[in-house]
């Protein structure tokens, strides 16, 4: 698999989290370069319109010979979206996205939608920060492991979704979640070493989180 790490410009993450994926191709979206400077890290490519990057971070990027691919400020896509499309086009099929969550709810929702696009392109993609790990899934069976993120939730990503669980504190069988009961699958916990989630129909954002 071709593996990539995308560092976006949202809520900052820890140095340890970035270094966990430092063996991948590292692509930075515009303002994400602030983290490179903060932690004195390297990257393979910076992509965006450069409207969110400060002068010191841009100087750091140029000083360390990190390649820059600049786009016009007036464009139809966010910098994160441009980066993801670049990775799709380059054949990366395992993508970790950091800095995709934060204070901009509009950007967060758009980034979640890109998890759906990645799934339908056959790409394994996750949005991760120090508090959350998010994947998108449709019909099928999936495995998840206990981690430092205590809570385990499924958020319906369509009209309705039906699923079965094994290895969670609250076990369900053929539970349907729709607009009438959207919180029915929120704040469960993995109690076994491994949890198995079977989505019988529909789609969900699967979130492992901690306070």
pLDDT tens readout for residues 80-127: 999 999 999 999 999 999 999 988 899 899 999 999 999 999 999 999
Query: Are both 98 and 170 inside the same structural domain?
Result: no
Nearest CA to 29 out of 55, 45, 47, 14 is that of 47
Report CA-CA distances (Å) from 27 to 1, 21, 163, 168. Answer: 17, 12, 35, 35
171 and 89 share a domain? Answer: no
Q: Tell me how far apart the alpha carbons of residues 6 and 162 are, in angstroms, rounded to a whole number.
A: 31
Question: Residues 48, 149: one domain?
Answer: no
Q: Note down the domain range covering 148.
A: 136-209
The answer to whether residues 90 and 178 belong to one domain is no
pLDDT at residue 198 tops 80: yes
Q: What is the pLDDT of residue 73?
A: 72
Let me know whether 145 and 80 are in one domain: no
C-beta separation of 168 from 193 below 8 A: no
Residue 44 shares a structural domain with residue 109: yes
Whole-number Å distance between alpha carbons of 201 and 210: 27
What does the pLDDT look like over 136-189, one tens digit per residue? Answer: 999 999 999 999 999 999 999 999 999 999 999 999 999 999 988 989 999 999
Whether residues 26 and 112 share a domain: the answer is yes
Give the residue with greater pLDDT, 106 vs 72. 106
Last residue of a domain, one of 105, 130, 155: 130
108 and 22 both lie in a single domain: yes
């Amino acid at each position: 698999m071709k593996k990539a790490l995308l560092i976006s410009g949202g809520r900052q993450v820890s140095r340890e989290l970035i270094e966990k994926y430092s063996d991948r191709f590292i692509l930075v979206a515009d303002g994400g370069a602030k983290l490179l400077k903060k932690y004195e890290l390297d990257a393979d490519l910076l992509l965006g319109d450069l409207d969110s990057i400060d002068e010191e971070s841009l100087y750091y990027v140029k000083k360390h010979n990190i390649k820059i691919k600049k786009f016009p400020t007036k464009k139809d896509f966010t910098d994160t979206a441009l980066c993801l499309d670049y990775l799709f086009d380059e054949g990366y099929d395992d993508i970790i996205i950091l800095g995709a969550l934060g204070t901009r709810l509009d950007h967060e929702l758009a980034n979640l939608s890109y998890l759906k696009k990645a799934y339908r392109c056959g790409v394994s993609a996750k949005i991760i920060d120090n508090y959350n790990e998010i994947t998108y899934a449709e019909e099928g069976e999936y495995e998840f492991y206990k981690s430092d993120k205590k809570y385990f939730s499924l958020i319906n990503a369509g009209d309705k979704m039906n699923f079965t669980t094994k290895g969670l504190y609250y076990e369900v069988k053929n539970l349907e979640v729709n607009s009438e009961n959207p919180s029915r699958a929120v704040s469960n916990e993995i109690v076994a070493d491994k949890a198995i989630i079977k989505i019988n129909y529909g789609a969900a954002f699967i979130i492992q989180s901690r306070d």
